[in-house]
Structure 1
Amino acid sequence: MPDLRLSARLRAAADSDLWYSFRTSPVTIVSALTTLVLVAAALAAPVIAPHNPFDLASLNIMNAGLPPVWDAGGEAAFPLGTDDQGRDVLSAILYGARISLLVGFASVVFSVVLGVGLGLVSGYVGGRVDAVIMRIADVQLSFPAILIALLIDGVARGLLPHDMHGEVALYVLVFAIGISGWVQYARTVRGAAMVESRKEYVQAARIIGIGPMTILWRHILPNVMGPVLVIATIHLAIAIITEATLSFLGVGVPPTTPSLGTLIRIGNDYLFSGEWWITIFPGIVLVLLVLSVNLLGDWLRDALNPKLR
C-alpha cells in the first residue's frame, strides 16, 4: 500500500501544472541548476576545496597575490589565484558561500516565523491588536532594510562586551537581517487571514468549539502558505545581498570567517593595483547566486498565480 500511494503521488506531481510550468521554462531550469550547483558546492566545501583558507598553519605569505592559473605567474595549486594573505581564492569562495547561504537561510526562516505569526494574529484577532502590529509595520517600512540592519548591529555591538563581538556576530547578523524583513510576510498573511477567517469552514470550526490556535494552525495557515513561499524565495536573494552589503561595510561576520561580501571588500583594496581576481570572482559567484534565486522566485510567483495560467 505505501508503494502504491507513493507512485500515485509521484504521478500526480508529474502531471501537475507546477511541474509542467517548470519543465517548459528553460530559464527556470538553468536557474534551478545554477542554484543547486552553487549550494551543493558550498555545502561540500570541506571536501572539494583545494585548501582550507582559514587554517593559518597552511598559509604561506610567499604565495600572496598569485594570479589565476591561466595568467602568467599562476600556479595549478591555486586555480583562481590567491589573496593578499596567500589564501586560495577558490577555496575562500566555497567557504564564504557557506556563510552567505547560512545567514540568508537563517534570516529568512526567522522572518517567516515572526512575520507569519504576527500576520495570523493580526488578521484573525483584529481590533487593537491588528492596529498596533500594522502601525509598527508601517513605521518599519519607512526605513530601508539595510538601515534597520545597521542600527540593530550597531546597538548590539554597543551593548555587548568587545570580546564577545566575534562570537555573536553571526547571530546578530541573522537577527538584524531577519527583523528587517518580517513586514512583508505579516502584511501578506494578515490580508489572507482576514479573508479566510470569514469563510464558512472557519465559522463551522468555531461553532463546534475548536480553539483559535488550532484554527490558525490547521485551517488558516495552510491556505496562506502559497504567497509566503514566493516571498521567502525572493527574500532569500535579498537577505544574501544584505549580508554581503553589511560585510562589505565591515559590520557583518568577522574577518576570520569571511563571507562573499567580506571577500569582495578585501579584494576591493587591491582592485586598482592589478590583483582583480581577489574581488571579481567572489562578485561573480554572488551575482550568479542572487540572480538564479531571483529568477526562481519570479517563476514560482507566476506558476502559483491562477490568473496567469
Structure 2
Amino acid sequence: MLDVPPDAPVKPPSRWRRMVESDLWYAFRTSPVAIVAFAVSTLLILSAVFAPWVAPSNPFDPASLDLMNGFTPPMTPNDFTGATFPMGTDDQGRGVFSTILYGMRISLFVGFMAVAFAMVLGITLGLIAGWAGGVVDAVIMRVADIQLTFPSILVAMLIFGIAKGVIPVQNRDDMAIWVLIIAIGLSDWVQFARVVRGATMVESRKDYVSAARLAGRRGPSILFRHILPNVLSPVLVIATISLALAIIAEATLSFLGVGAPPTQPSLGTLIRIGQDYLFSGEWWILFFPAATLLMLALSVNLLGDWLRDALNPRLR
C-alpha cells in the first residue's frame, strides 16, 4: 500500500458524487410520492415530445382520417372497418390516444412558455422593486396588489380578448397560441415579483453586496450577478407549481372556447369537444383527455410541493 504524504492535495469530489451525496437527492429517493410524481410527469412529457413516433397516426392529418371509424368504443373493433383503437375514436374517426399525445404537446408548450415569460417578467420587476425602493417599489407593488384582486383566469381572458381584438382576423388562428402564452404569463407574474422583491430586500443588506459596492460594481451588475443567484431557490419552487396552474389555465381557456384554435387542439379543446358527446354515450371522448390532464397537473403539482419542502431549511 502506497503512503500518501500528509501535505498532498485532496482531490475535490466530482460533480456526480456531490449530487449523489446532496440533501436534495436524499430527500428525493426517500420520498415515494416524489418518485411516483416524477415518473408520471416524465412519462407524459416524453410521450408528448415524441408524439410523432409514439402515436399510431397523426390525428390532424386529413389524409389519415376515416370518418367510418367515428365513435368507435375503446378496444372494440369498428363495425365497418374492423379497426381497433385502445382509447376509442372521436366524431371524426381520430384515435383518442393520438389526439391526447398531440394535444398534450400544445398544453405543455403553452405551460412552459407562459411560466418562462411570467418568471422573467416577475423576477425583473421584483429585483427592481426590491433594489430601488421608494416610488418605484410602491408603483410596482400596487399594480401587483390590484391584479391580485382579480382571479387570474379572468385577467387571462381579458388580455386574450384585447389581443384578439387588435390582431387581424386572418392572423388570429396563427397567433392564438402566442396570445394565450402572453395572457397566462401576464396573469401569473405577480407571485414571482413579490417573492423576489422580499428576497432582494433581505440580500441587499448583506455584507457581500456592500463589498460589491465598494469594489465599484454598479446596480445592474450587483442585481444580476450577485443577488439574483441567491434568490432563485424559491423562484424554482414557484415555477414548478405555476407550471401545473398554467396547464390548468390553458385547459380552462380552451374549454371556454377562448384558447387554442380547433386546428391546434390542446387537452382543454379535446375536453370541450368530448363534452358535446358525453350524454349521448361516447364517454371516452371526454374521459381520457380529462384523466390525462388530471395526471399531468397532479404529478407536476406534487413535484412542486416536494421541492418546496426539500428546499426549506426549517423542515430538515
Q: What is the TM-score with the length of structure 2 in the denominator?
A: 0.94
The correspondence for 2:201, drawn from 180, 194, 210, is 194
The correspondence for 1:259, drawn from 234, 257, 266, is 266
- How far the C-alpha of 1:126 sits from its partner, in A, is 0.6
5 Å matches for 1:47-196? Answer: 47-70=53-76, 77-196=84-203
In the aligned structure 1, how far is the partner of 2:233 from the partner of 2:242? 14
Moved more, 156-165 or 280-289: 156-165
In the aligned structure 2, how far is the partner of 1:5 from the partner of 1:254? 57
Which amino acid is the alignment partner of residue 121 of structure 2?
L
- How far the C-alpha of 1:72 sits from its partner, in A, is 8.4
The correspondence for 1:28, drawn from 23, 34, 45, is 34
Which amino acid is the alignment partner of residue 214 of structure 1?
S
The answer to whether the Cα contact below 8 Å between 1:193 and 1:224 also exists between their aligned partners in 2 is yes
In the aligned structure 2, how far is the partner of 1:306 from the partner of 1:153? 40
In the aligned structure 1, how far is the partner of 2:152 from the partner of 2:268? 17
Instruction: Look up the match of 2:248.
Output: 241
In the aligned structure 2, how far is the partner of 1:186 from the partner of 1:64? 48
Q: 1:229 to 1:75 in 2, by over 3 A?
A: farther
Q: Does 1:37 find its partner at 2:52? A: no
- How far the C-alpha of 1:12 sits from its partner, in A, is 1.0
Secondary structure of residue in 1 paired with 2:14: helix
- How far the C-alpha of 1:162 sits from its partner, in A, is 1.1
- How far the C-alpha of 1:59 sits from its partner, in A, is 1.0
Secondary structure of residue in 1 paired with 2:231: helix
CA RMSD, Structure 1 to Structure 2 (Å): 1.6
The answer to whether the Cα contact below 8 Å between 1:50 and 1:77 also exists between their aligned partners in 2 is no
Deviations 1:155-201 (A, max 9, x none): 11111211111010000000000000000000000000000001111
The answer to whether the Cα contact below 8 Å between 1:247 and 1:259 also exists between their aligned partners in 2 is yes
Which amino acid is the alignment partner of residue 52 of structure 1?
N
Q: How many matched pairs?
A: 306
- How far the C-alpha of 1:42 sits from its partner, in A, is 0.3
In the aligned structure 2, how far is the partner of 1:17 from the partner of 1:7? 16
The correspondence for 2:285, drawn from 261, 267, 278, is 278
- Structure 2, unmatched stretches of 5+, are 1-9
The correspondence for 2:15, drawn from 4, 9, 20, is 9
In the aligned structure 2, how far is the partner of 1:249 from the partner of 1:171? 17
In the aligned structure 2, how far is the partner of 1:90 from the partner of 1:253? 19
Secondary structure of residue in 2 paired with 1:180: helix
In the aligned structure 2, how far is the partner of 1:128 from the partner of 1:46? 52
Secondary structure of residue in 1 paired with 2:109: helix
- Structure 1, unmatched stretches of 5+, are none
In the aligned structure 2, how far is the partner of 1:5 from the partner of 1:244? 51
Which amino acid is the alignment partner of residue 103 of structure 1?
V
The answer to whether the Cα contact below 8 Å between 1:69 and 1:75 also exists between their aligned partners in 2 is no
The answer to whether the Cα contact below 8 Å between 2:69 and 2:78 also exists between their aligned partners in 1 is no
Indicate the structure (1 or 2) with the bigger Cα radius of gyration: 2
Which amino acid is the alignment partner of residue 67 of structure 2?
I
Which amino acid is the alignment partner of residue 69 of structure 1?
M
In the aligned structure 2, how far is the partner of 1:185 from the partner of 1:256? 33
Deviations 1:54-80 (A, max 9, x none): 001221111111110158869654211
Which amino acid is the alignment partner of residue 158 of structure 1?
G
Deviations 1:195-248 (A, max 9, x none): 000111101111121011110111100000000000000000000000000000
